[in-house]
Amino acid sequence: MRYLVNYILVAFLGMSFLFSGCEASDFEFDSGWDDNAADSSRVTVDTVQGIDVSMYEKARLFPGLVDTASERRIADTVVYLDLSRKYIQLGIMQEGPQSIYSSGLYAGAGELVTVYVPDNVWGLTVQVGMHTEDLTNDNIGLREPIAYYRKALYPGKNTVRFSLGGYLWVLRDQDVEGDADVPLTFCNVYAAPDFVLGKTDVREWERKVKATTVPWLELRGKNVAFSVERSQLDLYFSQRPDFAMEMEACLATWDEMLETIYRTQGFDKESDAANPQPMFPNRFVFDVQLRENKSRRSDNEQGMMLVRTASLYDDLLNIDSVADLHFINVYSMVAEKYSYFYNGVTGWEDEYFYVPLYRMNERNKEIGLEQELSDMGIDFKSTVPVALSYAEADTSKWMSSDLYTAKEEANRKKSLYLLPRVQIAEYENHYQDKPKWDIYDKLSHDRRVGNDYEGFFRELCDRYQVDFTPFYEHWGMSVSGSEREYASRYPLLDKQIWKINPLAEDPFEDVGQYETSSFRYRANRSAWKIAAWDSEGRENEDKEYKSESDWKTADNLLDGDPYSYWSSYLSPWSGGYQDSPSELPYYVVIDMGKEQVMDGFYYANGDARCISGFTLQTTDASGFGLEQHGEQEWSTVYVLEQTVDGLLKNEQFIDFPQPVTARYLRLVFDKPNLFMPNEGDEENFENFHKDRQQMFSEFGTFFINDKTI
């Protein structure tokens, strides 16, 4: 057996030690002797062994006492540490689960524990107690402010004593590596009846828990480790006859949840890959109190800490809550830990929060834990019909803004973001014979390891050789002009996959063929030139802001962003108002660079001072600068009028009676805006001509199917 030598060598500890077991002579007692003064119906004191009882009463309060008379001490036991497991740094500003090894052992309050470490094994620390939360500034008397103790371990004999006692962890320096089976010998300890998934006999475990007086133990899977009170398990045993049998399914579900998060976040499952998933378990430690009196907290040292309430215990250990995924409070701590790029590869909010939950729903349904999709904390079942109705509506929309007009905004927003992801996963499985979520996992992986990719929309089109623009438009998701042009190399998506309903017995029942012949192709505006002018021939853009990025220029009409807009010129603030520079009309003039065939145009409103309409004109003239628009002859193509009632529809398409061919366009604004003054303010409103300000967000043209840009 080989042991890796750490970079620090301590010369005087270089000698070898014989592992001959732990004799009474090995103990050294610091202070205090057991006087049998403790008083408890369950705890007595062994006066034969020397115990520091100076903190007995405080230890009785928390973390609890071991019955030293009835509980059998282990004189000599070996714990094997896998030092070949690597600590995984997830990324900049992100740390994975720390290199902590569970021992399955407990140190009694004030009792001396001896630990033997093999030669040439360095970088280890023993910790007595699981509770690392420092309550010095928040203590309300529920426990000692510092409830744990650490001591570095060196090759040979080490002793450690902590007056409060506690479960024994072994911590490893992050950069230390070694063999897979390094033995540490512990003496004068108690067995903590941990449950280890795949190793522990369920019924034997239940018997041991009921028989022990060790106050804290662990429930361990591959990816999770729960530090829990024995008394809470006793309560579960009395309340739930099958609790012990349910523990395997509970831990397996949590393990799978972390695996799902890892896959969604793009980690490699293989430990020797360039981007391996964390190799140590995510720890959840219950405590009697946390800093700032929070109910849950996370840090890099310990993991997730939870106040020992019945509801939080249920979130982790009650199979009904776990199977139904009704543990959002706890789950959110884990999701946030690993989701360092929330907007992810799609640019859709909550990508890495709700997708793993949904995937767990699918897994639980497959294995029979849950017969229908849970609400996942977002009222999913009741909001899916609303989301489907939104996607099916034959209007153009912007999801990012439309969501805020809905009732029950928060939950509907989350469902509207989640459902299109689900539909793409169903599409790739049902129509493309690919594994569900495959494209998400791949692109998340590429993103995490720094590989370049063209963006989710282009990757989606390339992967399936299909133009997904109709799907994006039905969901009101933004697609730039360059992306539209890129996707046009492929045939349009010909299935109404925005109608896929994951709640239906047949999710694809309502999915029909999409009529592509009437699809509106938006013209690529990337080469367009645009300018705005007032009636006196002056530049007409609001540039009163200090930062150029805040200017409301005409270019904003072509940027695809519903939250940027053009505004006509406003003078500096005076008396609480800004006046417009001149009388109407105002003009926005566009040079599309070449003649284009147009079947119509689209536009979107901006601020509350929305336009009441405009006249769209074209000209046969050519070769003039935009500032020379007043010298040209213009023909009216369309007169747009809108009212306040129609403004909630963010984006609208206007069909021409017949196709129009032109290079130059001019928008003429000759009517006051639709902004309504406050009651009693009409005079000032009129004096400062606020009704002349013109503002709107987007303008573009479109053509039908077989036209070319």
Q: 121-173 pLDDT, tens per residue? A: 999 999 999 999 999 998 888 999 999 999 999 999 999 999 999 999 999 99
pLDDT of residue 94: 62
Question: What is the rounded distance in angstroms from the CA atom of residue 704 to the CA atom of residue 523?
Answer: 10
pLDDT of residue 400: 64
Q: Which residue has the tokens 């995984």?
A: 88
Q: Which residue has the tokens 């740094």?
A: 89
Is pLDDT above 70 for 16? no
Residue 416: closest CA among 399, 439, 437 = 399
Give the residue with greater pLDDT, 33 vs 266.
266
pLDDT of residue 12: 34
- Model confidence over 242-297: pLDDT tens digits? 999 999 999 999 999 999 988 888 888 877 777 888 999 999 999 999 998 899 98
Q: Edge-to-edge, what's the strand order for the sheet holding 182-187? A: 77-81, 182-187, 113-117, 156-160
Give the residue with greater pLDDT, 287 vs 451.
287
pLDDT of residue 31: 30
Burial class (CB in 10 A: 0-12, 13-18, 19+), 249: middle
Q: What is the DSSP string of 557-580?
A: GGSS-TT--EE---PPPBTTB---
Close Cβ partners of 648 (under 8 Å, ≥ 6 residues apart): 405
pLDDT of residue 608: 57
Give the pLDDT band of residue 14 (cuts 50, 70, 90): very low
Question: What is the rounded distance in angstroms from the CA atom of residue 324 to the CA atom of residue 30?
Answer: 51
Specify the range with the lowest mean pLDDT, choosing from 255-269, 449-463, 580-594. Answer: 449-463
Specify the range with the lowest mean pLDDT, choosing from 144-153, 245-254, 375-384, 480-489. Answer: 375-384
Is pLDDT above 70 for 681? no
Average pLDDT over residues 391-408: 63
Sign of CA dihedral 318, 319, 324, 325: positive
CB 348 within 8 Å of CB 444: no
Provide the phi-psi class of 171: left if phi over 0, else alpha when psi is between -120 and 50, else beta: beta
Give the residue with greater pLDDT, 454 vs 172.
172
pLDDT of residue 637: 97
Average pLDDT over residues 6-35: 36
Q: Where are the beta strands (DSSP E) in 619-707?
A: 635-641, 651-669, 695-704
Give the residue with greater pLDDT, 384 vs 112.
112
Residue 482: closest CA among 560, 553, 561, 554 = 560
Out of 362-371, 577-586, 630-639, the most confident range is 630-639
Q: How many CB atoms lie within 10 A of CB 125?
A: 15
pLDDT of residue 361: 84
- Model confidence over 524-573: pLDDT tens digits? 898 999 999 999 999 999 887 777 778 889 999 998 877 788 988 877 76
Q: What is the DSSP string of 446-484?
A: HHHHT-----HHHHHHHHHT-B-HHHHHHTT----HHHH
Is pLDDT above 70 for 351? no
CA–centroid distance for 64 within its chain: 37
Give the residue with greater pLDDT, 39 vs 585.
585
Specify the range with the lowest mean pLDDT, choosing from 576-580, 591-595, 600-604. Answer: 576-580
Question: What is the rounded distance in angstroms from the CA atom of residue 283 to the CA atom of residue 305?
Answer: 8
* 585 cis-preceded (ω within 30 degrees of 0): yes
Question: What is the rounded distance in angstroms from the CA atom of residue 446 to the CA atom of residue 284?
Answer: 30
Give the residue with greater pLDDT, 419 vs 21.
419
Q: How many CB atoms lie within 10 A of CB 140?
A: 9
Question: What is the rounded distance in angstroms from the CA atom of residue 495 to the CA atom of residue 578?
Answer: 51
Average pLDDT over residues 60-78: 95
CB 91 within 8 Å of CB 119: no
The CA dihedral of 531, 536, 542, 548, to the nearest 10 degrees, is 60
Is pLDDT above 50 for 407? no
CA–centroid distance for 266 within its chain: 13
Query: Strand 303-307 to strand 282-287: parallel, antiparallel, or no bridges (unpaired)?
Result: parallel
Tokens matching residue 353: 């929060």
- Model confidence over 285-330: pLDDT tens digits? 999 999 988 999 887 667 899 999 999 999 999 988 888 777 777 8
The proportion of the chain whose per-residue pLDDT surpasses 90, expressed as a percent, equals: 50
**Average pLDDT of the chain?**
83
The proportion of the chain whose per-residue pLDDT surpasses 70, expressed as a percent, equals: 81
- Model confidence over 190-235: pLDDT tens digits? 999 999 999 999 999 999 999 999 999 999 999 999 999 999 999 9
Give the pLDDT band of residue 644 (cuts 50, 70, 90): low
Is pLDDT above 90 for 356? no
pLDDT of residue 679: 72
Q: How many CB atoms lie within 10 A of CB 281?
A: 23
Amino acid at 543: K
Residue 236 has, within 13 A of its CA and on its CB side, a CA count of: 23
CB 355 within 8 Å of CB 440: yes
CB 156 within 8 Å of CB 15: yes
Give the pLDDT band of residue 22 (cuts 50, 70, 90): low
Where b means 16+ CB within 10 Å and e means fewer, 498-527 reads bbbbbeeeebbeebeebeeeebbbbbbbee
Is pLDDT above 90 for 517? no
Q: What angle do CA 143, 146, 148 make, to 5 degrees?
A: 105
Q: What angle do CA 288, 290, 292 make, to 5 degrees?
A: 140
* 63 cis-preceded (ω within 30 degrees of 0): yes
Q: What is the DSSP string of 288-342?
A: S--GGG-SEEEETTTEEEEE--HHHHHHHH-HHHHHTT--HHHHHHHHHHH-S-T
Is pLDDT above 50 for 45? no
Amino acid at 17: F
Supply the Cα-derived Rg of the chain in whole angstroms: 34
Whole-structure pTM value: 0.76
Amino acid at 224: V
3-state DSSP helix/strand/coil % of the chain, to nearest 5: 30, 25, 50
